[in-house]
């Protein structure tokens, strides 16, 4: 009885945030989904009264016409491919850098390692717009890097401004602090004794890192991966400022479709695609939290 | 509905959305209703006295025009009158104001705004939300080029104008192109030296795109797309889009800057020798030293798009407020004010050049009296979409 009451209490305490999420996130998503499936009336009446080139379900239950139209557009497909590879490349580089920095800090424990970790977190305090613009100027055709390279005779040095390579660079800049914080704090939490025991048993530092530190730091790594991936998938500012006219990421294309082409239905289809990709990226995170919750519950 | 704010230095031809604005509209309306609510209509004969609430949207230069030129001069001339300005640099708020206008009209209530400036009037006019402009109420309307009233069904009136010009580096280019055809050949002959911005992001790019598309479109069909929405006429764009696509390898870095300012920056740094810019923005940049003096502005034949920035009086406001708004408009169209506006904005006047003092009129000797009309909002949206799909 007492336990049931307590459970009821938990439920009650959790319900206001749940209701808030359902109301302000759940309802708009539901409205968006039915709009993309061709329901132009009801809550979508206002937007559909002014939109161009909408696909209506008419009397049918739903239509995938708007999805078909969007996927038939070569421009969209090129941007979809760009979004996937830019996200994958950025996440890969972020993980590599974050692990290197965190490992160095964990193993050396020297002052320089601390400074490196602090430096890696600096982008957190610089607004994304400013950072992106700075990167664009720095790496543009007449920018700092190209000028220096030209001065030392490297005329073929790439100008990353307005390229997807530049977008990857800027996404790494923006995402690095969170990954470094997540992974380095996870590494710090691994007790010295475990690591040293492995060393005493004859493992090299790298072996010990691979077989002790990596598995014990898996959850923070997965969290860093998923969150970085999701934020890059839906990013707008970085690709809008740094990226090329086309192909670019889906964020700028969806915004342009919504604002400049006056095609909100097609824009919402694109956001559903981003949403779908984000769910795929979030799966390892859900799996990992489920595992860790189960472990906590059973231990 | 979608907005094209192409006629000020912001110049982003960027249709705004209705839905996003609904929540914010309430707060804006509340700000506007505050000071305006106190004023009562005039009952005595003679010129009306009281206050009007003006909404305007644009870049800082537009705000300065109101705060430093129009309002002080007007309140000096009419000491009894007050202008409450609600100004924003955020073009998305045009949507909020449009919503307020449409919602108050639908509910049979008075709008919070008595006079609208910026992108809203051109959209509100075809929707029947504005009071028709007549010369009996605004005598100075007769000095405005009559063609300026066509796009807005005679329901809004120009305050000032601007057009898109060709900017070029006079040190590098001795004989700038005089026609659109010359310009296209010049771009091919000088790879990497020309740029125009993405038409979705700036009116100066949209003007160039429209000019090339119009070149291959029958005039009657083109006019249909300028005055309204005629999807069937868009089939004539195919040839123009191919020409634009063929230019991509020869534009700077095969990329399109994402703002009007982007082109100015490239001109200023010497990265390009030629580009399309708004007349007011280009002249201001030259005056501020943002652009070096070797950059010159010129018009080509046929002229690129341009046109007026409109003022509109909402239909659903008390008669006394309307009279005050008319009084303001009539005053603003007097040559003295027009000269002040031209000076402050580096734009073109609303009234025909012949009504200006000779010295000011001379400034516009090179300007066309009839720049190309911009495409209507929905035509512009389709143009942006097709451009992105084929060219971008």
Looking up residue B92, the CATH number of its domain turns out to be 3.40.190.10
* Residue of chain A minimizing CA distance to B19: A47
Q: Is residue B368 part of a domain?
A: no
Tell me: do B196 and B336 sit in the same domain. no
Tell me: do B281 and B332 sit in the same domain. no
Tell me: do A14 and A56 sit in the same domain. yes
CA distance A175 to A230: 11
**Of A30, A49, A69, which residue constitutes the final position of a domain?**
A69
- Its domain, for residue A80, covers 73-298
What are the tens digits of pLDDT across the range A166-222? 999 999 999 999 999 999 999 888 888 888 888 888 888 888 888 888 888 899 999
Beta strand segments in chain B, E: 51-57, 82-88, 115-118, 157-169, 194-195, 274-278, 295-298, 306-312, 348-349
Per-residue confidence band for B45, with pLDDT thresholds at 50, 70 and 90: very low
- Report the residue from A245, A257, A258 with minimal CB separation from B255: A245
Does any CB of chain B come closer than 8 Å to the CB of residue A256? yes
pLDDT at residue B261 greater than cutoff 80: yes
Tell me: do A154 and A18 sit in the same domain. no
Tell me: do A61 and A171 sit in the same domain. no
pLDDT at A299: 56
pLDDT at residue B197 greater than cutoff 50: yes
Q: Is residue B203 part of a domain?
A: yes
pTM for the complete prediction?
0.80
* Residue of chain B minimizing CA distance to A248: B392
Q: Is residue B12 part of a domain?
A: no
Count other C-beta atoms under 10 Å from residue B40's C-beta. Answer: 10
pLDDT at B367: 72
pLDDT at B165: 92
CA distance A202 to A207: 9
Q: Is residue B126 part of a domain?
A: yes
- Report the residue from A75, A162, A264 with minimal CB separation from B389: A75
Mean pLDDT score, A117-123: 90
> Is A245 in Cβ contact with B15 (below 8 Å)?
no
pLDDT at residue B159 greater than cutoff 80: yes
CA distance B392 to B386: 9
Does any CB of chain A come closer than 8 Å to the CB of residue B201? yes
DSSP per residue, B158-180: EEEEEEEEEEEETTT-SS---BH
Q: Is residue B31 part of a domain?
A: yes
Tell me: do B166 and B299 sit in the same domain. yes
CA distance A182 to A220: 6
> Is A244 in Cβ contact with B388 (below 8 Å)?
no
Which residue is listed with tokens 């009821």? A8
pLDDT at B4: 43
Average pLDDT, chain A: 89
Tell me: do A158 and A286 sit in the same domain. yes
B19 interaction partners in chain A (CB closer than 8 Å): 46-47, 264
State the smallest CA–CA distance between residue B387 and chain A in angstroms: 10
Tell me: do B264 and B352 sit in the same domain. no
Does any CB of chain A come closer than 8 Å to the CB of residue B258? yes
Tell me: do A59 and A89 sit in the same domain. no
Q: Which of A239, A260, A265 to mutate to test the interface with B (most CBs of B within 10 A)?
A: A260
Tell me: do B98 and B180 sit in the same domain. no
Cα Rg, chain B, nearest whole Å: 21
* Residue of chain A minimizing CA distance to B385: A261
What are the tens digits of pLDDT across the range B76-116? 999 999 999 999 877 667 777 888 888 888 888 999 999 99
Per-residue confidence band for A38, with pLDDT thresholds at 50, 70 and 90: very high
Residue bearing the bigger pLDDT, B169 or B354: B169
Mean pLDDT score, B314-318: 93
Per-residue confidence band for B212, with pLDDT thresholds at 50, 70 and 90: very high
The answer to which of A180-184, A259-263, B166-170 has the lowest mean pLDDT is: A259-263
pLDDT at residue A6 greater than cutoff 60: yes
> Is B392 in Cβ contact with A50 (below 8 Å)?
no
> Is B378 in Cβ contact with A52 (below 8 Å)?
yes
As for how many domains chain B has, the answer is 2
- Report the residue from A141, A246, A262 with minimal CB separation from B15: A262
> Is B392 in Cβ contact with A245 (below 8 Å)?
yes
pLDDT at B387: 95
Q: Which of B1, B253, B382 to mutate to test the interface with A (most CBs of A within 10 A)?
A: B253
**Of A19, A41, A69, which residue constitutes the final position of a domain?**
A69
Does any CB of chain B come closer than 8 Å to the CB of residue A76? no
For chain B, give the percent of residues with pLDDT over 90: 51
Mean pLDDT score, B188-213: 93
Tell me: do B297 and B231 sit in the same domain. yes
- Report the residue from A73, A246, A263 with minimal CB separation from B392: A246
Q: Which of residues 33-52 of A touch B (CB under 8 A)?
A: 46-47, 50, 52
pLDDT at A7: 78
- Its domain, for residue B37, covers 19-161+309-363
Does any CB of chain A come closer than 8 Å to the CB of residue B385? yes
- Pair B341, B65: CB distance under 8 Å: yes
pLDDT at residue B257 greater than cutoff 70: yes
pLDDT at B372: 80
Mean pLDDT score, B171-198: 95
B254-279 exposure pattern, b = at least 16 Cβ within 10 A, e = fewer: ebbbbbbbbbbbbbbeebbbbbbbbb
Tell me: do B267 and B384 sit in the same domain. yes
Tell me: do B270 and B196 sit in the same domain. yes
Tell me: do A63 and A79 sit in the same domain. no
Tell me: do B39 and B138 sit in the same domain. yes
What are the tens digits of pLDDT across the range A56-107? 998 888 999 999 999 999 999 999 999 999 999 999 999 999 999 998 888 8
pLDDT at B364: 78
pLDDT at A108: 80
* Residue of chain A minimizing CA distance to B92: A259
Nearest to B168 by CA among B143, B132, B193: B193
The answer to which of A256-260, B38-42, B150-154, B343-347 has the lowest mean pLDDT is: B38-42
Pairing between β-strand B274-278 and β-strand B194-195 as defined by DSSP bridges: parallel
pLDDT at residue A280 greater than cutoff 90: yes
> Is A241 in Cβ contact with B385 (below 8 Å)?
no
Does any CB of chain B come closer than 8 Å to the CB of residue A162? yes
Tell me: do A61 and A77 sit in the same domain. no
Q: Is residue B3 part of a domain?
A: no
Q: Is residue B300 part of a domain?
A: yes
* Residue of chain A minimizing CA distance to B203: A260
Tell me: do B326 and B184 sit in the same domain. no
Does any CB of chain A come closer than 8 Å to the CB of residue B392? yes
For chain B, give the percent of residues with pLDDT over 70: 86
Evaluated on CA atoms A237, A242, A246, A250, the torsion sign reads negative
Q: Which of A245, A265, A270 to mutate to test the interface with B (most CBs of B within 10 A)?
A: A245
pLDDT at B31: 41
- Pair B303, B371: CB distance under 8 Å: yes
What separation, in Å, do the N-terminal and C-terminal C-alpha atoms of chain A show? 25
As for how many domains chain A has, the answer is 2
Most confident of A116-125, B81-90, B126-135, B165-174: B165-174
> Is B22 in Cβ contact with A46 (below 8 Å)?
yes
The answer to which of A139-143, A219-223, B41-45, B346-350 has the lowest mean pLDDT is: B41-45
pLDDT at residue B315 greater than cutoff 60: yes
Between the CA of residue B104 and those of A153, B21, B117, what are the distances in Å? Answer: 66, 15, 18
Does any CB of chain B come closer than 8 Å to the CB of residue A193? no
Does any CB of chain B come closer than 8 Å to the CB of residue A244? yes
Is residue A49 classed exposed, middle or buried when 0-12, 13-18 and 19+ CB atoms within 10 A define those classes? exposed
- Pair B372, B305: CB distance under 8 Å: yes
Average pLDDT, chain B: 84
Mean pLDDT score, B27-42: 39
**Of A69, A98, A123, which residue constitutes the final position of a domain?**
A69
Most confident of A229-243, B23-37, B134-148: A229-243
Tell me: do A32 and A139 sit in the same domain. no
Does any CB of chain A come closer than 8 Å to the CB of residue B90? no
Between the CA of residue B200 and those of B88, B204, B256, B260, B306, what are the distances in Å? Answer: 21, 10, 10, 10, 16
Mean pLDDT score, B214-238: 92
Tell me: do B320 and B276 sit in the same domain. no
ipTM > 0.90 for the complex: no
Tell me: do A154 and A229 sit in the same domain. yes
Tell me: do B73 and B119 sit in the same domain. yes
Tell me: do A62 and A171 sit in the same domain. no
Does any CB of chain A come closer than 8 Å to the CB of residue B259? no
Tell me: do A207 and A79 sit in the same domain. yes
Per-residue confidence band for A235, with pLDDT thresholds at 50, 70 and 90: very high
Q: Name B308's bridge partners.
A: B161
pLDDT at residue B205 greater than cutoff 90: yes
Tell me: do A181 and A228 sit in the same domain. yes
Mean pLDDT score, B246-275: 92
B261 interaction partners in chain A (CB closer than 8 Å): none
């Amino acid at each position: 009885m007492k336990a049931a009451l307590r459970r009821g209490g938990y439920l009650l305490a959790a319900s206001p945030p749940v209701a808030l999420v359902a109301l302000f996130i759940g309802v708009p998503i539901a409205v968006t989904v039915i709009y993309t499936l061709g329901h132009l009336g009801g809550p979508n009446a206002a937007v559909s009264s002014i939109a161009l080139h909408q696909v209506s379900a008419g009397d049918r239950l739903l239509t995938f016409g708007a999805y078909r139209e969007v996927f038939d557009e070569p421009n969209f497909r090129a941007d979809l491919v760009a979004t996937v590879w830019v996200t994958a490349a950025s996440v890969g580089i972020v993980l590599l850098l974050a692990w290197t920095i965190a490992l160095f800090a964990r193993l050396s424990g020297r002052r320089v390692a601390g400074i490196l970790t602090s430096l890696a977190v600096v982008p957190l305090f610089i607004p994304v717009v400013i950072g992106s613009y700075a990167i664009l100027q720095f790496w543009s055709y007449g920018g700092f890097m190209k000028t220096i390279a030209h001065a030392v005779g490297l005329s073929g040095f790439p100008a990353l401004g307005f390229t997807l390579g530049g977008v990857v660079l800027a996404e790494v800049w923006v995402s690095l602090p969170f990954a470094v914080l997540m992974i380095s704090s996870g590494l710090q939490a691994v007790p010295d004794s475990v690591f040293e025991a492995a060393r005493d048993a004859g493992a090299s530092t790298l072996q010990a890192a691979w077989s002790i530190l990596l598995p014990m730091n898996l959850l923070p790594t997965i969290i860093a991966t998923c969150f970085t991936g999701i934020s890059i998938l839906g990013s707008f500012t970085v690709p809008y400022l740094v990226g090329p006219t086309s192909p670019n990421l889906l964020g700028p294309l969806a915004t342009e479709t919504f604002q400049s082409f006056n095609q909100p239905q097609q824009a919402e289809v694109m956001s559903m695609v981003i949403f779908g990709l984000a769910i795929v990226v979030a799966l390892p995170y859900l799996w990992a939290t489920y595992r860790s919750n189960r472990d906590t519950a059973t231990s | 509905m979608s907005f094209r704010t192409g006629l000020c230095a912001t110049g982003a031809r960027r249709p705004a959305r209705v839905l996003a604005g609904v929540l914010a509209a309430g707060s804006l309306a509340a700000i506007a209703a505050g000071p305006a609510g106190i004023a009562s209509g005039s009952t005595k004969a003679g010129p009306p006295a009281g206050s009007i609430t003006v909404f305007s949207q644009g870049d800082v230069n537009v705000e300065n025009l109101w705060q430093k030129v129009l309002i002080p001069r007007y309140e000096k001339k009419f000491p009894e009158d007050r202008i409450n300005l609600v100004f924003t640099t955020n073009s998305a708020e045009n949507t909020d104001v449009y919503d307020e206008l449409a919602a108050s009209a639908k509910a049979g209530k008075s709008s919070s705004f008595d006079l609208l400036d910026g992108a809203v009037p051109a959209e509100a006019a075809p929707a029947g939300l504005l009071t028709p402009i007549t010369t009996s109420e605004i005598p100075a309307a007769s000095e405005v080029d009559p063609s300026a009233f066509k796009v807005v069904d005679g329901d809004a009136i120009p305050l000032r104008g601007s057009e898109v010009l060709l900017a070029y580096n006079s040190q590098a280019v001795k004989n700038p192109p005089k026609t659109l055809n010359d310009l296209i050949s010049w771009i091919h002959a000088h790879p990497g030296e020309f740029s125009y911005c993405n038409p979705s992001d700036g009116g100066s790019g949209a003007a160039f795109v429209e000019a090339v598309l119009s070149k291959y479109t029958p005039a009657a069909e083109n006019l249909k797309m300028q005055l309204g929405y005629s999807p069937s006429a868009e089939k004539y764009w195919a040839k123009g889009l191919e020409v634009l696509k063929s230019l991509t390898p020869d534009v700077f870095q095969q990329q399109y800057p994402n703002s009007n300012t982007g082109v100015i920056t490239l001109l200023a740094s010497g990265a390009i020798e030629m580009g399309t810019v708004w007349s007011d923005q280009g002249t201001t940049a030259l005056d501020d030293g943002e652009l070096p003096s070797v950059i010159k502005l010129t018009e080509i034949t046929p002229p690129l798009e341009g046109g007026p920035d409109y003022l509109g009086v909402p239909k659903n406001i008390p008669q006394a407020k309307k009279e005050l708004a008319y009084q303001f408009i009539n005053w603003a169209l007097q040559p003295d004010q027009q000269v002040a506006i031209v000076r402050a904005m580096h734009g073109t006047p609303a009234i025909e050049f012949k009504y200006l003092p000779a010295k000011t009129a001379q400034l516009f000797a090179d300007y066309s009296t009839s720049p190309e009309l911009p495409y209507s909002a929905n035509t512009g949206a389709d143009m942006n979409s097709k451009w992105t799909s084929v060219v971008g």
